[in-house]
Amino acid sequence: MGWIKSILVSFAILLVIFSIGVISLSDKQIPASLFGGKEVFSPSDWVKENQIKVYRNKVVLDIEGATWASFTDTNSMDPFIDETSNAIEILPEDADSINVGDVISYKSSYGTIIHRVIEKGTDKDGPYFIVKGDNNKFQDPFKVRFDQIKGVVVAVVY
């Protein structure tokens, strides 16, 4: 009889786990850790909810100092952005406002590059950022300084 009790307890545990999964699936709130996902740095909240107005026939983003950005086909930021994507970016006020996870555009000897900040630090020359394309295996080979930054991507329009 002890083995029947063990089976019933195991069944009850599985039923509870399954029920939690079904509830989570119904409102699309499945903890990524259950499936091996891990937290990664995401862009900062540059555009607040009160700056976004959605109407029946248009969307208005009230973003001061916004500029338009387009991309070349390098595949370095796939799947986040590609050559057919368009973006809105703003010039940050200072280096402190840029965080790990933000996507920045910066001037380099290769032209304008748009990559994600993966590290932020300070050395004898001041603040710097280490960046990497989401689809690149390696980080960019140099430190990006604040005076090189052209903008922070605050919206992507697909």
CATH number, domain with residue 60: 2.10.109.10
The set of residues, in sequence order, having a beta carbon less than 8 Å from that of 142 and lying 6+ positions away, is: 108
Query: In this predicted model, what pLDDT tens digit does every residue of 33-86 receive, in sequence order?
Result: 566 677 788 899 999 999 999 999 999 999 999 999 888 888 999 999 988 888
Global confidence as pTM = 0.76
Is 79 domain-assigned?
yes
Query: In this predicted model, what pLDDT tens digit does every residue of 115-134 receive, in sequence order?
Result: 999 999 999 999 999 999 99
Distance from C-alpha of 158 to C-alpha of 155, rounded to nearest angstrom: 10
- Is residue 19 located within the same domain as residue 83? no
Is 61 domain-assigned?
yes
Chain-centre distance for alpha carbon 10:
40
- Is residue 119 located within the same domain as residue 144? yes
Is 41 domain-assigned?
no
- Is residue 20 located within the same domain as residue 95? no
Q: How far is CA 152 from CA 20, 30, 55, 56, 124, in A?
A: 39, 30, 26, 29, 24
Number of domains in the chain: 2
Domain of 14, in residue numbers: 2-35
pLDDT, position 133: 95
Residue 19 has pLDDT above 60, yes or no: no
Mean pLDDT (the chain) is: 86
- Is residue 80 located within the same domain as residue 18? no
Is 116 domain-assigned?
yes
Q: Up-side HSE of residue 77: CA atoms within 13 Å toward CB?
A: 25
